[in-house]
Chains A and B, each alone.
Chain A
Amino acid sequence: MSELDMNDKMNELLKKAEANASTKEEKSFVRPEDEEREVIAPDGSIIKVNPIYDYFSGEKPTVEEPSKGVVEKFLNWARAESIWVLGFGTGCGSIEIPPLMTPRFDAFRFGVQMRPTPRQSNAFIISGYLSVKTLKRVIRSYEQMPSPKYIIALGSCTINGGMYYDSYSTINRLDKYLPVDVYIAGCMPRPEALLAGFMKLKEIIKSGNGEGANIYAENFDEYKANQKKVIKDWNMPDYNW
């Protein structure tokens, strides 16, 4: 079909659409692969699956009591000296991560390194503004991280929205959705500020206050309610490790 004929075809479609513009379809938020369905197994038997509830855990996280005395002190020292950061650049602050990890600022000497998967990391740098679409992925990644886990919130936009305070797409206060351990203010914070943030996080962990995962477990219902308020297409399980 030549492009001029296509022009005519599109014109016809346009006329049709103009004629019945009033009828509008309802939007479904569940992706086709997440829908409840029947699957044929390799041996020929038919299995009913509901991917959201079958493939993941729906159980609530529980509070893990810290150990006592010297043991906890030793564990905290070990945790503080090996901060493994999840390599998920959620916002524009991630442009300062390469300078941080390369010889000039060299965060490796403080025991900080980037890991590719949430299951190997215990710190999450939220690098700047979080759009609702990313918040959904951040929650999912955060819940997969083994506890104890820490969140470093980078930039003014995680504190109060910064210059995106009136945006329909970005959240304003990160601490309403996830427990934050350290805020690093600025737009954008320098690598030195990030290093200072890591030192602060170490102090917090060593003093035994880095209990973000337990705070999250204790106030789980509240956090979930806040998260569900902004993520309108909640097509994932309530909790998944």
Chain B
Amino acid sequence: MSNKFFQPDRSKYPSTKGDGTLDVDLSSHKYTKIWLGPNHPGVTGNMAVEMTLGGDEIVEAKTHVGYLHRGFEKLIERRLFVQGFPTSIRMCVAEPDTNEYLIARSTEELSGLTGQVPEMAEWLRTLALEMARLQGLLRGVPGQAGTYSLGIGVQWGVYLRDLILDRFEELTGARVYHMYIIPGGVRGLLPSGFKKRMEDNLTDIDDFIVRIRKLIFHNSVFKARAVGSAVIPKEWINKFGIVGTNARASGVKRDVRKDNPYLKYSELDFDPPTATDGDIYSRTWVRWQELVQTVDLIRQIMAKMPEKGDIKGDMPNVLHWKIPKGETYVKLESGRGEYGMYYVTDGSSKPRRVNLRGPSYTHAIAVLEKMLINTNIADVHATMVSLQTCPPEIER
């Protein structure tokens, strides 16, 4: 859990009490308690980590969330199915399209409309989800280098992400919250010339991928600090419920797109990248490979999708839409891992319960708290970013 420059000496550090808890006495002047966040430029979003330090080594860490709590799950219970839709997509700002698809799929499944989504709409949904993953990775991969003060990659990445947001704007009319994937289909066809402009952007991103590889993975500072730092051992995967790229970087190939294929992923040719070490370097490497793969997937989707077709299935009148009693759990692979939704209906025109299961729920609390112990305070930020912490999906 420590890199080669920082080898903690645990012999002098807190002994454990009889019940297994640490014997940390703050009034002994040996330990300091400091808060990282919520007002801190390095914290991923609006959350806080309360750390007890011995020197600059962390002996105890607690994650505090709730600064972004809006009570979505309660608000959705008060809204019609279609009204809950624009509300629910704001649950996670990093990749809002994943929420759109989960809501659309669960309501379709519970009202028995699963087979009625036209082929063209399925392709467009796949495209939107892959574009969302791409814009997330364009922030995430250089952002990891940014945690080691390598800011130039962030400048490139954010610019290219903006180009993808432009394509989203063309496709859906909005920059961040798109509301494109609606129950029964999608809201619009590709505009004319979209594929060409997308291809131009992907060419730019190809160039970026090569440059960012040289910038990050050939950088001695990054290698020195990321290799061997914040390791997730393979045994932790099931013990902690680790999913997505974090699990794949530890050598466990877990990807919902392959395991339970949804949309058109079974028709696409891809193989989720893996690594074996489970440290920050491996996680960044897996994400970089995923960036390459996502660009390739978008090209495949644009080549394989039909030119024209219906984009909306036969839907009931949304104002009088009632779904019979039932429950389901649907999931997809977001950029951060398995992203699921537990949806319960009770026969009325409003959902009974909606529970979002974001990957950060385990990564940022149970895993992070365990992992931070024995690390150096300078590595906290890098660890949080490498776990792809996204606080709004923890507290909703």
Footprint of B on A, CB under 8 Å?
33, 39-40, 42, 86-92, 94-96, 98-99, 102-104, 114, 116, 118, 129, 131, 133-134, 137, 141, 163-164, 166-170, 187-188, 190
Contact B392 A92 (CB under 8 A): yes
Contact B74 A104 (CB under 8 A): no
Q: Known contacts being A90-B46, A167-B71, is A102 close to B175, with CB within 8 Å? A: no
Contact B70 A164 (CB under 8 A): yes
Which of the four size classes fits the interface of chain B?
Answer: 35 or more
- Tell yes or no: B154 within 8 A of A by CB: yes
Contact B66 A131 (CB under 8 A): yes
Cβ contact of A92, chosen from B87, B93, B159, cutoff 8 A: B93
Contact B175 A188 (CB under 8 A): yes
- In the assembled complex, which residues on chain B have CB atoms less than 8 Å from the CB atom of A33? 26, 33
Q: Known contacts being A91-B46, A133-B66, A137-B38, is A99 close to B71, with CB within 8 Å? A: no
Residue-wise, chain B 10-48 has the 8 Å CB interface mask toward A (1 for contact) of 000000000000000011010001000011110001100
Cβ contact of A39, chosen from B27, B41, B86, B154, cutoff 8 A: B27
CA distance A118 to B38 in the complex (A): 13
**Looking across the interface, which residue of chain A has its beta carbon closest to that of B65?**
A133
- In the assembled complex, which residues on chain A have CB atoms less than 8 Å from the CB atom of B39? 86, 88, 118, 137, 141
Contact A133 B69 (CB under 8 A): yes
- In the assembled complex, which residues on chain A have CB atoms less than 8 Å from the CB atom of B139? 98
Task: For residue B81, give the distance in angstroms from its CB to the closest CB of chain A.
Answer: 16
Task: For residue B244, give the distance in angstroms from its CB to the closest CB of chain A.
Answer: 20
CA distance A133 to B154 in the complex (A): 30
Q: List 26 A-B contacts (CB under 8 A).
A: A86-B39, A88-B39, A89-B45, A89-B46, A92-B68, A92-B90, A92-B93, A96-B176, A102-B159, A103-B155, A104-B159, A104-B162, A118-B39, A134-B38, A134-B46, A134-B67, A163-B75, A164-B71, A164-B75, A166-B75, A166-B78, A169-B69, A169-B70, A187-B90, A188-B176, A188-B177
CA distance A91 to B165 in the complex (A): 20
- In the assembled complex, which residues on chain A have CB atoms less than 8 Å from the CB atom of B40? 116
Contact A131 B69 (CB under 8 A): yes
- In the assembled complex, which residues on chain A have CB atoms less than 8 Å from the CB atom of B27? 39-40
Q: Known contacts being A33-B33, A92-B392, A167-B74, is A134 close to B41, with CB within 8 Å? A: no
The 4 closest A-B pairs by CB, nearest first: A92-B93, A87-B41, A102-B158, A88-B39
- Tell yes or no: B124 within 8 A of A by CB: no
Task: For residue A127, give the distance in angstroms from its CB to the closest CB of chain B.
Answer: 9
Most buried by A among B41, B70, B75: B70
CA distance A33 to B32 in the complex (A): 12
Residues 69 to 102 of chain B near chain A (Cβ within 8 Å): 69-71, 74-75, 78, 86-87, 90, 93-94
Task: For residue A15, give the distance in angstroms from its CB to the closest CB of chain B.
Answer: 21
Task: For residue A153, give the distance in angstroms from its CB to the closest CB of chain B.
Answer: 16
Most buried by B among A92, A103, A129, A170: A92
Contact A133 B158 (CB under 8 A): no
- In the assembled complex, which residues on chain A have CB atoms less than 8 Å from the CB atom of B93? 92, 95
Knowing that A33-B26, A102-B158, A167-B70 touch, tell me 20 more A-B residue pairs with CB under 8 angstroms. A33-B33, A90-B67, A94-B46, A95-B93, A95-B176, A96-B176, A99-B158, A103-B159, A104-B158, A104-B159, A104-B162, A116-B40, A129-B70, A131-B68, A133-B69, A163-B86, A164-B70, A169-B69, A169-B70, A190-B175
- In the assembled complex, which residues on chain B have CB atoms less than 8 Å from the CB atom of A164? 70-71, 75
Cβ contact of B41, chosen from A102, A114, A163, cutoff 8 A: A114
**Looking across the interface, which residue of chain B has its beta carbon closest to that of A116?**
B41
**Looking across the interface, which residue of chain A has its beta carbon closest to that of B86?**
A163
